[in-house]
Amino acid sequence: MPTVTKIQAQRAIIGIIQDMIQDWDLDLDEPIGANSKLAQDIEFSSIDVIQLIVSIEEYFKQKMGFHELLMNDGRYVDDLSVSELAAFVSTKLDGAQP
């Protein structure tokens, strides 16, 4: 069993995002969930993505090398879903186990 399941990681990530956007005055079509995309649905800018991953690393007290997820073929990916982030975090935390 992974140390932190994808569902647990996802719950934590959604909590962090909700903290970040609480005073943003966003008009969300639906609550933030697994399929929510950071840029398209939650209007994240590049600095918000960096803030999010720094917060995720602080929350789980571990560096995770997010640039692997953010970069594709030497360029930033256009967007990321909460689910993709959670899967990455879960894999990284699992891989850190002895």
Partner 1 sequence: MPVLRLPETTLNYLQMDERPDPTAPPLDLVLVHGLAANLAFWYHLAPALAAQYRVTMVDLRGHGRSGMPATGYTPAVLAQDVLALLDHLGLERVHLLGHSFGGSVCLHLALAHPERLASLLLADVRLRLLQPQQRVQDWPHWERLGPNLKELGIHIDEAGHEAGYQLLEEVMRFQLRGSDASVFPKLLAQWLPIGGGKRTAQHWIKLLDTTSARQDFIALEDFTQTDLAQLTLPLLAVYGEQSMAVKTARQLQELWTQARFEFIPQAGHFFPLSQPEKFVMSIQNFLNTPCPSARTAV
Provide the binding-site residues for partner 1, judged by CB under 8 A.
24, 39, 43-51, 54, 65, 67, 70-71, 74-76
Least distance from C-beta 78 to partner 1, angstroms? 8
Nearer to partner 1 by Cβ, of 1 and 47: the residue is: 47
Least distance from C-beta 23 to partner 1, angstroms? 13
Please tell me the number of Cα atoms within 13 Å of 91 on its side-chain side. Answer: 10
Nearer to partner 1 by Cβ, of 15 and 65: the residue is: 65
Least distance from C-beta 90 to partner 1, angstroms? 21
- 49, 81 Cβ separation under 8 angstroms: no
Nearer to partner 1 by Cβ, of 35 and 45: the residue is: 45
Least distance from C-beta 1 to partner 1, angstroms? 29
What is the enclosing helix (H) or strand (E) of 71?
Answer: strand 71-72
- 79, 73 Cβ separation under 8 angstroms: no
Q: Exposure string (b/e) for 46-62, b if CB count within 10 Å is 16 or more?
A: eebbeebbebbbeebee
